[in-house]
Amino acid sequence: MKGLNLTTLILLTSVLCLFKVNAQDTIIISKNDTIPFINKYVSSSENYNFGLSSQLTGTSKLNTVSRILIVIDGIPYPDRTTDELDYTTADLNDIAQLAHIPLESIEIVELLDDNASTLLYGSDARNGVLSIITKNHSSNKFHVNYSYRNTFSKQPKGYEMLSGDYYAVLMKDALFNPLQNEHAPYIRAFLYDRTWSEYENFNNNTNWQNAITQSGFKQEHYLSLSGQTNKLGYQLAAGYSKGKGTMMWTSNEDYSIHWNLSYQPIKILTAKFNINYSNIQANSYNTYSNLDLYEGALKKMPNMSIYESEADGTFTSEYFVPTIDALVYDGNYTNPVHYANISSQNDKNKILNPTFNLELTPIKGLKYKLASSIIKKQSDLGLHDLPMNYAYRSSYNEIGAYANYLYKTNTLYLTNAINYYLIQNNSNQLKLSATYSINNRESETDFEAVDYEGNYIKGSNNHTELKNQNITGSVKYTALSRYFVNIGVYTENYKSIKDISKYESTYSGNGYALNAKWAISNETFFKPLVFIDHLSIATSINKHNIPISDAYDEKQQDVCFKTHLQLLNKFSFNVNYFERQLKNQVIDSHYFFKHNILNKGWELNTKIALIDQEDFKIVVFGNLHKNTFQITEANYDLNDGFYHTNGSYLKRGEYDKIYGFNYNGVYQYNDYIEGTQENAPVARDSEGNIILDSNGTPSPMIFAKGVIQYQFLGGDAIYEDINHDGNIDENDIQQIGNARPKITGTGGTSLQYKGWWLGVFFNFRYGNDIVNRARMDLENMYTFNNQTTAVDYRWRKDGDQTDIPRALYNYGYNWLGSTRFVEDGSFFRLKTITLKYQIPEKIISKLHLGHLSLYLTGKNLFTKTDYQGADPDISLNTTWDTYGYDDNYNAAIKQWIFGINVSL
């Protein structure tokens, strides 16, 4: 496949725009609406599978090494977050799972990234707030809504692995090559010896990937009832889902209830009461073991059988478990299918969350708000491993038997807020706000482990308490509908209690925010420019002292500039730029090692309504962004030492730069003969001339002279000798890649014709390098692990011309950190494509329905890339020493989703 260059990327994007296919229903502009300022993601049944970046500005800021705060109906949930989620491509399904609420209970998702109102939640909100607003009653009419989704999932192959026959040949090469010893490869599992009693069990071509994967399937049902009387509004929603994953022995069953009541006895008083309850159950094999099951299946020796064989080669129903004599150690799973079948993991999570809100407006301009929430969460994790005839040890329960973890948390959140308009007229508004919040959290963890006979081995009980108080005040001034200023400050106090040591610590933090905005298009001199609907610029600065302990705190400062332009009611553009400084960021649990970071980035959002007619609408949208990180200061040595080991790359304290050796292929010959065997491991000067020793003999090429003193031979890797001293060492290491994308983006188009919608949402990266450590593991030919089919083209004999070195079991230096495993990570992915049809009103009226629609969505159906790894869309939300590394063996799961939405 040809390289994915910038021209190809632009061409692909242009083609999609020309086809005018849809991305989501919410971006379609109705005849009477203007293009909205991009800050809300409104829920509807069509747009569940489209990225937040199509509706929200600032999503690129969320994809950093810092967490954001999830807030649901004004209540913060610090424990509901994930570092792995890509918020630019995350859809409402991802947000609903993150929030543990029914998918279709979501009304609006908003991003508050630089508003002084985020200070209400203290330092937890320093990186922004993802606010989720749930649905409430919509009208006096009684409504019934039902939705059904059926998802089919498939796990594509990430790597093509060797068959059993080719694997056995590889291993004999790898065992023979180090010392050229013909007796070295005498391991009976590779010899196909018919006289061996285990011959039939090691005479196979087993596809372990197929053996541990299956077609995933999930059904989801959602039912809601809503309405409103004169003073009482209500909504009762329930969701249920059940399915199985793409890995064998995995399944899940979830149900949730969302109950929402609002009562307004008098005009000045409104009370709201919500109850959310979720019960989430997941069953699988023990995923907390030392090796991921899919990774273990890839590496498993493919000549071994899954089931025990009879003497004539007939498989029995019993799993094959090798005896110690026949065992070839290749990881923890001697038989991954056997292990996954006999181990178990039961993960049960229950969440009960009642909330109460009260709003009182005793006099004009004064509003009092009370919000309270109780969160009771219980997680019950049970792990079970049956006895096996070979050594296995779980890294999680440490005993390989039975273990149970019971984790309980009780959280109380209470806030009082007062808003008062000191000035409120057509020209000026001055609003004063103050809040007082408390957040108390108690957590308890019980652990117990027993052996196979049920005898108690060990256990523990931990109890912690965290109490937080937050006081905030803000002033917001608006003048002439064109000048806006918002200033906010907060202070917070923490108390932490641990019952094991009875240690109690108190610490505090504070911060402020300043926002200013100028709506230029509202100026009188702008009136003649009728083609400009809106033009504004805004700036903000936030500063936080973040409490970490009673003796230590971090500091963060954010500066942001924004501009928004809207033309002819068809074109909308947002450009954002931000700088974030982190000081004294802790990188270890003991607070010993810390550094300062400068994070800068920009983002461009655009939305264009190409056609806006009653029955025919086309909208194109896109998002481009880039983030950069720099460690500006540290109290520890940022330069990694070179330890003369295979597989390691140097980072030298930089997020993006990758350091290693230049890989120039494979030495074709073992001995140098001028004119006929030039490509041999001998030293050359800067002119390419052979360096001779004192005896007039060509000097050999050495690795780590004086330390390792390894002499390269024919079939070994060629590393560039930068200083031409005949010695490959740290002096030959240089920058060989940059993991920072030159540009990252998402986009799509939306087409509506009468009741039909067709849509696409895509994402891409361009110009970043990836250290493909997974491929390195599957092509180093250094262990008993199975390898990819690429090693079929390895060097085998003198004169072979290839880029794949010879196989060397536990020997040599053919997979040093080099350009061999650094790849271009650019890609273009068709993330989702959706087709929806809304049944015409004349038909649904005969069926006595209010609404009926059907849709079909495909996810991750197409990716264009030159990257050889399982998935080029790796997480970039990592620490500096793992940034740009890919240890993933799984390709992105493909999904097909069919849905029905109906209402009465």
Q: What are 513-530's pLDDT values in tens digits?
A: 999 999 999 998 988 888
What pLDDT sits at residue 500? 58
Distance CA 874, CA 334 (A): 29
Distance CA 666, CA 681 (A): 9
3 state DSSP class of 325: coil
Contact 558, 64 (CB under 8 A): no
Mean pLDDT lowest among 370-374, 445-449, 508-512, 892-896: 445-449
* Range 426-435 average pLDDT: 92
Band of pLDDT at residue 346, cut at 50, 70 and 90? very high
Would you state the pLDDT for residue 44? 57
Q: Are 418 and 313 in contact (CB under 8 A)?
A: no
Q: Token pair for residue 271? A: 């009370």
Rounded CA separation 357/371 (Å): 4
Is residue 679 over pLDDT 50?
yes
Which neighbouring-strand residues pair with 112?
129
Q: Would the pLDDT of 390 be above 70?
A: no
Which of the pair, 663 or 89, is modelled with greater confidence?
663
Does residue 388 have a pLDDT over 50? no
pLDDT at 325: 58
Query: Is a pLDDT exceeding 60 seen at residue 222?
Result: yes
* Confidence at residue 850, expressed as pLDDT on a 0 to 100 scale: 86
DSSP 499-526: TTTTEEEEEEEEEEEEEEEEEGGGSGGG
- 362 class by beta-carbon count within 10 Å (0-12 exposed, 13-18 middle, 19+ buried): exposed
Q: pTM surpassing 0.85?
A: yes
Q: What is the pLDDT of residue 95?
A: 84
Residue 674 — very low, low, confident or very high, per pLDDT cuts 50/70/90? Answer: very high
**Which of 217-221, 460-464, 755-759 tops mean pLDDT?**
217-221
Q: What pLDDT is stored for residue 326 in this prediction?
A: 59
Q: Is the pLDDT of residue 29 over 60?
A: no
Residue 479, SS3 per DSSP: strand
Q: Is 334 a residue whose pLDDT tops 80?
A: no
Q: Dig out the tokens for 904 from the structure.
A: 């009465």
Residue 666 structure tokens: 């494979």
Q: Is residue 812 pLDDT above 90, yes or no? A: yes
- Residue pair 230/144 in contact by the 8 Å Cβ criterion: no
DSSP class of residue 677 equals B
Residue 302: predicted pLDDT: 94
Asked if the model's pLDDT at residue 416 lies above 90, the reply is yes
pLDDT tier for residue 889 given thresholds of 50, 70 and 90 = very high
3-state secondary structure of 808: coil
Q: Which helix or strand (DSSP H or E) is residue 412 part of?
A: strand 402-424
The mean predicted confidence, pLDDT, of the chain is 86
**What pLDDT is recorded for position 13?**
41
CA distance 505 to 513: 28
The pLDDT of residue 397: 36
How high is the pLDDT of residue 105?
A: 81
Band of pLDDT at residue 12, cut at 50, 70 and 90 = very low
Category of 9 on φ-ψ map: left (φ > 0), alpha (ψ -120 to 50) or beta:
alpha
Q: Which residues contact 717 (CB under 8 A, 6 or more apart)?
A: 663, 665, 666, 667, 805, 813, 814, 815, 816, 818, 820
Q: How many CB atoms lie within 10 A of CB 182?
A: 8
- pLDDT confidence bin for 392, thresholds 50/70/90: very low
Report the helix count and the strand count for the chain, using DSSP H and E. 9, 39
pLDDT of residue 569: 85
More confident of the two residues 10 and 516? 516
With bands split at pLDDT 50, 70 and 90, how would you rate the model's confidence at 453? confident
User: What is the b/e burial string over 665-687, where b = at least 16 CB atoms within 10 angstroms of the residue's CB?
Assistant: ebbbbbebeeeebebbbbbeeee
What is the 8-class DSSP label of residue 790?
G
Q: Bridge-partner residues for 612, per DSSP? A: 617
Tokens 């994809």 belong to 63
pLDDT at residue 560 in the model: 92
Tracing tokens 């509004």 back to the chain, one arrives at 233
Whether the pLDDT of residue 26 is over 50: the answer is no
Question: Looking at the predicted structure, is the pLDDT value of residue 364 above 50?
Answer: yes
The CA-to-CA distance between both ends of the chain, in Å, stands at 52
Cβ 585 vs Cβ 597: under 8 Å: yes
Per-residue pLDDT, averaged over 410-436, amounts to: 93
Q: Determine the residue type at 641.
A: G
The most confident of 6-10, 88-92, 290-294, by mean pLDDT: 88-92
pLDDT band of 289, cuts 50, 70, 90: low
What is the average pLDDT across 146-174? 94
Contact, 421 vs 395, CB < 8 A? no
